[in-house]
Every structure is written in C-alpha cells, then in structure tokens.
Structure 1
Amino acid sequence: MKKPNTKSGIFLALAILVLAAIGAWFFWDRSPSPAGPAGPSKGAVQEDEASRLVAKMSPEVKIGQLMMIGLAGTTIDDQGQRQLEYCHAGNVILFDRNMDTPEQVQHLTKKIDTTIRKKSGVMPFIALDQEGGQVLRMRKAFPPVPSEQSIGQSGQSAQAKQWAVTTGDALKKLGINVNFAPVVDLGSQAERSYSLDPGVVTQFAHEAIAGYEQTGIWCSLKHFPGIGKVKTDPHIDGDSVNSSKDDLMKQDLKPFENLIKSEDNQKMFIMVSNVTFPALDPNLPACVSKPIMTDLLRNTFGYQGLIVSDDMEMGAMAKHYAFADMGVMAIKAGADMVLVCHEYAHERETYDGLLKEYKSNAEFRALVDEKVTRIVRTKLNHQ
C-alpha cells in the first residue's frame, strides 16, 4: 500500500478550516442580530428634544408659544413686526384681511415662518378657518369648498375626505399648516354641521381627518363640547347650552368622544368654545373651565393632543372678562394655546397677563413649561 502524503493531509485540513471560518463569517454577518436593548423610540427622542428646546427658551418666548395671534395686513409691516417681537409670537392665524392673492399669501407665510423660527428655534403654527360654505377665506382664489351641511346631505362620507384633501393641498401650497376644521357640532347654524346625528357627524369627520392627515395639515375638531344648540352668536355675546350632562354625553359630546378614541390625537387639535354649559360647569365658559377641559376632555375622554381656546375677543369673553386675566384662566383650566385674533392691544394685554403670572407663580411656571413642551413636541412631529 502507498504511504500517505502527510504534507497533503495537513494542507487539506488547513483548507477545510479556512473555508469553514469563511462560511461562518459569511452566515454570521448576514444573519439577524441577536435581541438586545432597544434604542430610544422616536417619541422618546422627540420628547427629549422638545424638553431641550424648551429649557433654552426665555420666559418671554415660552409665553409666545402659548398664544396664537392675528396680524393686521397682507404684509408684515413695521407695526406687525413690532407685534410679533413684543408678543414673541409662536403662532399666527390668518383672515381675509391678510389674504389677497396666492403669491402674496405664500410670501407672507414664508416671512412669518422665518421670523418665528429665528426667534424661538421652532416652527410656527400658521392657521386658518377654512370650513367651506359660508366660512371660506380668499373665496375668489380658493377651490369652492361646499359647506359641511351640503357634504353631509350627500350621504357620501367619502366627499368629506375628498374636500379635506382639496383644502389641505391648497393650504399647504400657501404655507398654512393648521385648518380649524372640521366642525363636529350637531346642527350648527350657517350650514356648518354635517348632521344632527352624532354617528353621521363622527363618520364624516373621520373621513375629513384622514384627508387632512394625507396632506400633512393639522385639523381641529370644534367647538368642544358642542355649540349646535346656542341661540346667541358667541361673536356677539355669551350664551348657555342648558342640556343635562346625560343628554350632552349622548348627543353633542359623542362625536368628540368617538373621534378622540379612534384617531391619532397628535394629528389634530381640539378647539374649545366660549359658551357656558351649566351641567358641566355652572360658573365659567368652556374655554376657561377646568371641569370641561381638564376633567372631561383630558381625564375622562383621554385626549392627548393640543387644546386651543376659541377667540378671546368674541363678545362671549371680551364683554365679561379682562384680557389680562383670560389667558391665565384658560391655561390654568387646561388650554395649551389661547387665540387672540384681531386687536394688537388685546394681544399685548393677554401676553402681559400670562408673562406676569409666569414670573410670579411657581406652580404656573411648571404648568406653562409642561404645555410648551407639548406644543414643541407636536411641532417636532411635523418637521
């Protein structure tokens, strides 16, 4: 028998070992990594970033984040610039007085965005009430959005999404990122409601929310807890909805409750009315009521998004409370942002009242920091 070649055997063994090592490396490198500690979630990162940004803000800038103000004209003139600076404005709402042509609005919103980012380090909310029907800004240059009542009467909830997409796309091109719609009140005047039926309102509003989300626009359910039964226009003076709590829960509040539980709360705001609901709070309008905003909306319904007041310059509030007090009352009661939409003097009074309370009240400072962090986190979600 032939004597085995020892060297050949060694080389063969070495070759097999090398190939085995290469194979092990190949399969190990491409196999799923073993489970280990998860990295920070997106939400946690945004929370940390929001907290970091808020910690760097001055008291003046924090108070500016709590407010949404209006401007007087179609450009930021010297007076408008001074107003933005005085209030350290974090957010702006536009009206027809601010809107002439699409090109002009684009220029205005870009200037607002640049100015506010430079001062605060975060984007502004730039909002509009573009419900459709009788509530439609820049009507001659905007798609002819029908009223909610007209859409509801069609019986086709898909129309609510279609018109929300149309509206959202048009607003986005203008540089607007918040639409204070849809109205989810039952049977509001001026054709502003989808229906008197809570289920129908829920269904159509669900489609509208989906449409706005598709276009990257925040929407806002309004006017919590539901003002379809008011007789006096809140723009003129205050009014009460004298339904029992049980009736409110079964009717006016039902669309809000349904939508809060079924939708992503971070993609929508809730606007709270300045009407009084004695069965929920016998003393105060909803927009300054802790039982309504904190106890009911936050704690009972579990709403996690932003709460914004209706305009404090409406007669329902302005005829009965001082502007220096209203903002503080609203924030303490549960609002995250306060709307003061028209007069520069009223905006300044509200801002001064909030800033004074922030500097003198440690408990209020902690509350404001919490709310500003929620606002900034919401903005970061959008960027």
Structure 2
Amino acid sequence: MNHSGRALLSVAVITAVGLALTPPVQAQQPPGRGGGCDPDAQLARMTDAEKVGQMVMASTGADADDLPTENARRAVQELKIGSILTHEPATPDRAARYANQMQRWARDTRLGLPLLISGDFEFGTTHNVRLGTTPLPNAMGLGAARDRDLAREAAVITAAEARAMGFHWNYAPVADVNTNPANPIIGVRSFGERTALVADLVEAQVRAYRRAGTIATPKHFPGHGDTEFDSHLQLPTVTYDRATLNAVHLPPFRRAVEAGADSIMTAHVVVQAVDPELPATLSPKVLTGLLRQEMGFDGLIVTDAMDMDAIAKNWGTREATVMAINAGADVVMATGDYATHAEAVDALADALRDGSLSEERVDASVRRVLALKCKYRVADQRYVDPKTAEKVSGNRHFQRRALDMGVAATTLVRNNGEILPYDPDSGDRTLVAGAVQTQVLADEIAAVADGPVDAWQSATTDPTDAEIAAAVRRAASADRILVATFSSGKLPPGQAKLVDALRATGKPVAAIAIGLPYDLTSYPDVQAYIATYGTTARTQRIDLTMHKAAARVVFGEQPGGRLPVTIKGLYPYGHGLRY
C-alpha cells in the first residue's frame, strides 16, 4: 500500500476515534486512569452483593425495538451486574441507545458504577451489529495479507466503531494457533498455523486496541487451535506435551501480555500437559499457576460463556461459576436468560457466605474490574451519541479500507490454464453455484461483470445427486462457472461432487472457498481455486467485504494473499499466485 493510502487511513481513523469518544482519548496514547477514579476507595464502600455482581457478565436481551428489557434492568439494578455482553442490535444507533439506557440504569444504583459493555468483534463490529458497520477480514484473512499495519488498522477501525456505539471491551484478537485443519470452531478465526505469524498480529492488534481506547481480550487461553471438537457442544482435550504448548500455543499469549493486554479469555479445553482433569476455565493450575504466576499476567481474566456444553453438561453452571473464580478467573460470562444470571450471582454470594470463596479472592477480582473501569475512563464516557455512532460506523473511508484489506487477504491458490481473471467487459454469462451464501456472492459478481449472472444454491450444505443434476442443467447456458464451497471442518461430500460435476461440463470452472481454505483437498482437479477465509465455521456469518473482494479478484484485481496454513499434499504455507 502506498504512503498516501496510509495517510488517508490515519486521518480517517483518528477523526473517527475523536468523534466516538466524549471526551476524546487520543488514538496515539494508551488510556490513562480517570481523574478521581479510585478502585480501592470504591471497593471499600461495596457490600458483598455489589462485589459479586461486578464479577458476573450478563448477556442482556432486547425487545423488538432493540431496547433493553425489564430483565435487563433487573440484572443491573437487582443483581448489580458489573458488565454486559451485547445482544445483536440491528444498527449502530440502536446499539448506542441500548448502551445508554443500560448505563442510565447503572447510574441509578447505590454506587452508580458504570457498566463495562462488551462484544465479540473479531472481524469488526459487524460481527454483532450487522447493518451500518464495516465488515473486516477474519483473522485468517489478515494472516494471509501478512501485514502488521493492516492488522493494526483493522483493530483501530473496530475500536472507533465500537466506542461510538458505547462498547468498551472487545473479545479479540483470537490468539489461537490453528494447527489442526479439522478444528471445527476456530478455523478462519485464527491468524494461521504458524506461531510467529499469530504472535506478531496478536501483539499488533493488542497495542492498537489499547491506543484506541478499547479493551482487547486475547483468547482462548492457553490455546484452542489444536482441538477436534467444538466446546459449544462438548469438552475438547488436547494431548500434546508441555514443550509443544510452550513452543507453539503460548507465545501469542506471552506477546499479548508483553504488549499490555488488560484482559484474557479462558478456553473450555482440557490441556493435559498442565491439568489432565479440568478445563482451563476451571483449573487453578492453568489460570493461577500458568497465566498468573509463570507468565506474570495481572490483568483481568474473563471466562468464555459458561452455558457452553463443555462446562454446563459436565459441571453445571452454578458449580462451575465458583470453580472458575477459585481457579483465578475474575469475571464469569453468564450467557443465557435472567435466571442464568441470577444463578451465577447467587452461586458466588453463597460461596462467599459459606467460606468456599474467600473474601480476599473476591476483592482481588473486583479490584481488577474497578481498575479497568478507571483506566478506560468508563464513568467519564458513560453515554454516546446515536447519531455519531451512525456517522462513524461504516463510513466510506472505513469501507474503502476494508475492501483494500479484503483484496490483500484474498489468495489465488491455483490458476491452471489461466482460467482467471475473467474479462468483465466480455458479456459472458456467469453461473455462481454453491451451498452457502451463493446469492450474496452472485450479487457481488454481478456488480463487477458486464454480462448476466445466475445463482444456484442447494437446500443444505451437502447437495444431493438430484440437486447436483439440476445445477449441471443450469450450467448448460453459462459460459463460465464459479463454485462457492464452505466447510467448518471436512467438506461435505456433496459439495465436492458438485464441483466435479460442473467441471465435467467442459465449461471453465473456478472454485472459491469462502470458509476454511482446505476445501481443495476434496476436489483436487479443479482448474482454478481462490481462498477468501470469509465465513466463520459455526455461525456461517456473512463477511460481505470478502465477497466483494473475491468478485474483484475474479475480474482482474491483483490478489494479495498468501496461504497462512498448509493445504496438505497440495500447497505449502506461504503459497499464493499473482496475475
């Protein structure tokens, strides 16, 4: 990228950050302690009920107008919750109004402590606020782009939009090293399979978030990248030895700690090399022994969601809540309904009352929560302007830079016979076929192509033989074919059959892996292949920027990506073609 492009970005980002914060925090300076904000003085005034409330994060709900519900009010005012995880507000102005109402309710409590409002913004605020925000590449796309500056820019754009909407705390970056291609939950959420790449980009984003006034949360400690199971559904175990843990999975977290990360999220994963019995979230050996004592982290430890099956089905959320705090966690993420939030608060209150949770342990965690609120001046920036949230989020500068990042991430893996690029002025008819998000991709292809574009999609992610036959019939009138494949682990066999059947028509075929880049192993004879890393495994969230970038690369824009992982038996880490 040329220097004028970077200058334009810097002006746009700093302007947006300034608009987002009242009073502004300079983008170039780390957040400082707010004037007169004293965690020890606040702690001394607190009752036991107020203390345990600060240790629970609730996922509060919304009504049809995206406003907080009565149960959300009760969570803040009756349970004395200290932080919330966003629901999924439709637009930036609605997110801002929601945050403001929650902060008003918090202001009206006895102590008037502000809330920490958090979100999962791994690929920008679009991750949770779907409309009017800026979709950014997933972490693996940034890994493919191989550019620390782009990783920093992605973080600062995310921070600017998040702060404008009233969010202080982001559960990113993902610090997991995705060494297992079959990993069903991390995948494109990781920067890649190489420790050095992941560590470099994690450090860059942690520093960028801090300077932009947003709490970064590297996750999932001590590493979720080598798992074969989704911890939302069952409890994964990793069996590598301590040397592998130290050499491969811990360095990104070490770099994050050195970069000043204020928060780290736990993994619901049993790491046998440290504790063969308990998942990291519940393990004193992992959280206190490894993270606190060995690695010297004194920031805030937050658990992953405690209603995930890895925890809930094995220990129950009530018992696990107390176990996590005793292990060394400071904040328990209580997703679910009001009853779940109340259960978490009650569990901690009962444990403090009967002595199974010590006052010293509770005070240490509450002090960290209060210190973070002081450091990031949450009380000084309690409210945001919904109109400013709309103006900052998704602005044209951010959208332009996101698309540049997307093209830099898009990886041309194969181009036998120079199938690509297509001529946008040819007037040829293009068929876009696939099992996921086909119409969305086709719309972006149509925005670039001069000729007609048709879309065909199967009913499920595993096309039947009858569906494949229908796709082949549709291909009869096409001059060229794009096939979008998607996997969250092993590619469903019907998708591979679809690619092969369309290739057998004799028409020029290019495949686009819109999720994991490993799909090519299931249809190794396709002539052209592009990886975009654009769709997450479990939720299949659409990253519109990566579809736009793919369309531009297909029609001649220079792809910038290099594989951040190995496609076993076919292409090595670092491979990437140019036109």
Same fold (TM over 0.5): yes
| Correspondence 1:221-260 to 2 at 5 A | 221-260=218-257
Unaligned runs of 5+ in 1: 1-41
**Which residue matches 1:104?**
94
In structure 2, what is the equivalent of residue 276 of structure 1? 270
1:296 aligns with 2:293: no
Query: Match of 1:140, SS?
Result: coil
In 2, distance between residues paired with 1:363 and 1:271? 21
Amino acid at match of 2:39: A
Aligned to 2:106: 116
Match of 2:313 in 1: 319
Task: Measure, in 1, the Cα distance between the counterparts of 2:275 and 2:95.
Answer: 41
Q: Could you tell me whether the CA contact under 8 Å between 1:327 and 1:353 is conserved in 2?
A: yes
Q: Could you report, residue by residue, the CA deviation over 1:299-354 in whole angstroms, capped at 9, with x for unpaired residues?
A: 00001111111000101001111222111111111001100112222221111110
CA distance in 2, matches of 1:307, 1:134: 22
**In structure 1, how many angstroms separate the alpha carbons of the residues matched to 2:103 and 2:231?**
31
Residue 53 of structure 1 corresponds to which residue in structure 2? 42
**In 2: Cα distance, 1:374 partner to 1:138 partner:** 28
Aligned pair partner of 1:137 in 128, 133, 141 = 128
Structure 1 residues 362, 82: CA separation in 2 closer, same or farther (over 3 Å shift)? same
- Tell me by how many angstroms 1:143 deviates: 0.1
> Residue 216 of structure 1 is aligned with which of 213, 223, 226?
213
What amino acid maps onto 2:51 in structure 1?
K
Counterpart check, 1:332 vs 2:326: yes
| Aligned residue-pair number | 336
8 Å contact kept, 1:133–1:148:
no
Query: TM-score, structure 1 length as denominator?
Result: 0.83
Residue 134 of structure 1, CA deviation: 11
Equivalent pair of 2:237/2:269 in contact (CA under 8 Å): yes
Alpha-carbon contact 1:313-1:341 (below 8 Å) kept: yes
In the superposition, the TM-score normalised over structure 2's length comes to 0.56
* Structure 2 residue aligned with 1:91: 83
> More helix per residue: 1 or 2?
1
Structure 1 pair 201–282 and aligned structure 2 pair: CA distance change class (3 A): same
User: Superposed, which structure 2 residues align to 1:59-98 within 5 Å?
Assistant: 59-73=48-62, 74-96=66-88
One-letter identity of the residue aligned with 1:62: K
Shift of 1:84: 2.6
SS at match of 1:220: coil
Shift of 1:227: 0.4
Give, as a single letter, the amino acid of the residue that structure 2 aligns with 1:80. A
How many Å separate the matches in 2 of 1:76 and 1:196?
A: 40
- Give the distance between the partners of 1:118 and 1:256, measured in 2 at CA: 38
CA shift at 1:78, angstroms? 2.0
CA contact (8 A) 1:306 1:374 kept: yes
2:146 maps to which residue? 155
The reply to whether residue 287 of structure 1 matches residue 281 of structure 2 is yes
Larger radius of gyration: 1
2:304 counterpart letter in structure 1: D
3-state SS in 2 of match to 1:339? strand
| Conserved? CA contact 1:129–1:135, under 8 Å | no
Structure 1 SS opposite 2:226? coil
Percent identity (aligned): 27
Unmatched segments (≥5 aa) in structure 2: 1-31, 378-579
Q: 1:334 to 1:209 in 2, by over 3 A?
A: same
Q: 1:285 deviation in Å?
A: 0.8
Partner of 2:493: none
CA distance in structure 2 between the aligned counterparts of 1:135 and 1:355, rounded to whole angstroms: 36
Describe the shift of the 1:221–1:373 C-alpha distance in structure 2 as closer, same or farther (beyond 3 A). Answer: same
Give the Cα separation in 1 of the matches to 2:36 and 2:282. 29
Which residue of structure 2 lines up, in the alignment, with residue 38 of structure 1? none
CA–CA distance in structure 2, aligned partners of residues 176 and 259 of structure 1: 21
- Residue 259 (structure 2) pairs with residue 263 (structure 1): yes
CA contact (8 A) 2:61 2:69 kept: no
Task: Call closer, same or farther: CA 1:135–1:224 in 2, change over 3 Å.
Answer: farther
Distance 2:108 2:41 in 1: 17
Contact 2:206 2:256 in 1 (8 A): no
Aligned with 2:105: secondary structure?
Answer: helix
Moved over 6 A (4+): none
Give distance in 2, aligned partners of 1:46 and 1:326.
Answer: 36
